[in-house]
Amino acid sequence: MGPFGKAARAALMLAPLVAPLTALAQPAAAPQPGQWHPSRYGAGDQIGAMNLLNPQKVLEAARLVQRGQVYRLGVPVGRETPAFPPRSAAVTVMMPDQFEGATVPSENRMSYADDMFTGWLGVGSQIDSFAHLGIDNVFYNGNHARDFMRTTGVTRLGIEGIPPMVTRGVLVDMTRARNKPMLEEGEIITADDLRAAMRDQGVEVRQGDVVLIHTGWVELLERDPARFGKGEPGIDNGAAEFLAGLGIVAVGADTWGVEAVPFQNPNRIWEGHQTLLAKNGVHILEVMDTRALARDGAREFLFVLGQPLLRGAVQAIINPIAIR
């Protein structure tokens, strides 16, 4: 894990039905201002904006594939990957009962290796479930931590309940918008910034889309991982509200937290996560490697994600794919 500044660490530590959908969801009326549950998709809903995905949306996205060009959006994860403290991840490889060159008893002298993962699921490229972050111990759709949060795994809102995410993806290139190769730590992206970048780059966001924001920050993973983990450019809460209002199913960025860190107001932390996850049921995708998409000037693409079905998990390491 890369080092974090003491001030940043102190601030950060404060945070903390897989089935095809056959018809376009018709959400109920939105809650009254200031009231964010029950969800517009129903009091028992667990999948939030993913209700907006349907076969027609998949077919629309599939028609974007014209070149057969595939982009890996995940990054390799290992022992040195910087992560939100105190997270870390490690793979340990073993050859059980095969000491000093021994093989498994057999005429064909079979050898094999196994591996063990030890770590947190919120390292590297990841998806946040609605059980990851809430408001005063209340999570998406009014689910209180005392009712579903268990050390053995959540009983609602877990990673295994997220439907496959096959939809149209769009890229908003903020490096192009600001005419520089990389935004700086703490640099804020507002709703107006997103609107202007989308307009200038010809990016149209539609209901059910996944929006990825390119800031250039992911480049630091390889050349300066310590700096990568100390802060990041990103959206503010107003931008989170704007994106949720567009009817998207997920928002991601090439940063580890999507929001700008250090926080503009140190007394209001991860407010964008609260707006997206808890209030609107919009998933968050972190550490997306958007470099190749930005380099190729991609504006829209087929986005595909089938996350690990880890029962009761609140996050998962992922490797989404973009196809053009």
Q: Distance between CA atoms of 17 and 20, rounded to whole angstroms?
A: 9
Q: What is the mean pLDDT of each run of 10 residues along the chain (324 residues)?
A: 41 37 45 82 97 97 98 96 94 93 93 96 97 98 98 98 98 98 98 98 98 98 95 98 98 98 97 98 98 98 97 98 98
| Distance from C-alpha of 177 to C-alpha of 173, rounded to nearest angstrom | 6
**Contacts of residue 166, Cβ cutoff 8 Å, sequence gap at least 6:** 53, 58, 61, 302, 303, 304, 305
Query: What's the pLDDT score for residue 30?
Result: 53
In the chain the domains, ranked by start, together with CATH numbers, are 6-26+36-87+122-323 (3.50.30.50)
**What's the pLDDT at 17?**
32
Enter the pTM of the model.
0.89
pLDDT of residue 262: 97
State the pLDDT at residue 34. Answer: 74
pLDDT score, position 22: 34
Of the candidates 87, 81, 90, 86, the one whose C-alpha atom is nearest the C-alpha of residue 218 is: 81
As a whole number of Å, the end-to-end CA separation of the chain is: 34
